[in-house]
């Protein structure tokens, strides 16, 4: 890769620098908004009206792609972006390992949350294949290997066919990398799906908080 002056650019990039330079352009780009309006980049299934929190000490993703999309509730129109159609960043990975994974969702109006933990043993992380995440927010420290930024989303290939190329609007903004490593991952998501998801050391529990603050995964 080369920059505008013709200088060589390394294939690794730090997440904070990446966010500052790329995410605003991706969120506001005409190509992404056109894809949303046309319904060409759609959720894999109807989502609930709730987000959920995800955290992990580290995520190692292989075959990474990312592009803009919509996560839609049942009955939402393709252009209802202030109602039941939620603009999201869609990330796909051919495979991923997640260390000390936490997933939580709070029951609306109640001091109760459902919490799932897995991969707490550093030698046995949670493992996913064909992982697809639709998210509202992501924080962490990330490093990408052989990243391509600004690629036509309809041509993304790093995550395989499921990773965006078939559903993305031609000409819309996309990016991909051979590998991504995110430490101190904190995420607010609309949906997650995977071909297989192996949760080593699975612990699922319901937390009822007397102080009105049920346990949730950290997202800040």
- Quote the pLDDT of residue 74: 87
pTM: 0.77
The proportion of the chain whose per-residue pLDDT surpasses 70, expressed as a percent, equals 76
| 194-29-148 Cα angle (round to 5) | 60
Q: Which residues pair with 142 in a beta bridge?
A: 182
Q: What is the pLDDT of residues 122-158, one digit of tens each?
A: 999 999 999 999 999 999 999 999 999 999 888 898 9
Q: What is the pLDDT of residues 19-28, one digit of tens each?
A: 433 443 333 3
More confident site: 46 or 59: 59
Q: What is the pLDDT of residues 156-193, one digit of tens each?
A: 989 887 665 566 778 888 999 999 999 999 999 999 98
| 54-27-74 Cα angle (round to 5) | 60
Mean pLDDT of 199-214: 89
Give the helix/strand (H/E) hosting 18.
helix 15-28
Mean pLDDT over each residue of the chain, to the nearest integer: 80
- Quote the pLDDT of residue 95: 95
pLDDT band with cut points at 50, 70 and 90 for residue 198 = very high
Q: Please give the full DSSP string across 99-110, using - where no structure is assigned.
A: ESEEEEEEPTTS
- Give domain limits for the chain: 15-74+81-208
The proportion of the chain whose per-residue pLDDT surpasses 90, expressed as a percent, equals 45
pLDDT band with cut points at 50, 70 and 90 for residue 30 = very low
15-28 vs 30-38: helix crossing angle, rounded to 10? 60
- Quote the pLDDT of residue 12: 52
């Amino acid at each position: 890769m080369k920059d505008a002056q013709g200088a060589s650019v390394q294939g690794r990039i730090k997440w904070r620098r990446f966010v500052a330079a790329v995410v605003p352009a991706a969120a506001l780009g005409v190509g992404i908004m056109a894809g949303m309006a046309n319904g060409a980049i759609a959720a894999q299934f109807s989502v609930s009206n709730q987000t959920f929190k995800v955290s992990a000490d580290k995520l190692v993703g292989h075959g990474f792609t990312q592009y803009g999309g919509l996560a839609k509730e049942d009955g939402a129109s393709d252009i209802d972006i202030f109602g039941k159609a939620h603009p999201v960043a869609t990330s796909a990975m051919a495979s991923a390992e997640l260390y000390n994974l936490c997933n939580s969702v709070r029951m609306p109006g109640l001091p109760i949350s459902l919490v799932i933990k897995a991969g707490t043993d550093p030698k046995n992380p949670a493992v996913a294949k064909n992982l697809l995440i639709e998210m509202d927010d992501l924080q962490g420290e990330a490093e990408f290997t052989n990243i391509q930024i600004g690629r036509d989303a309809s041509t993304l290939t790093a995550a395989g066919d499921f990773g965006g190329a078939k559903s993305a609007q031609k000409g819309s903004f996309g990016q991909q990398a051979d590998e991504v490593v995110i430490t101190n991952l904190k995420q607010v998501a609309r949906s997650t799906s995977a071909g297989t998801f192996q949760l080593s050391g699975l612990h699922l529990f319901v937390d009822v908080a007397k102080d009105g603050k049920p346990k949730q995964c950290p997202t800040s």
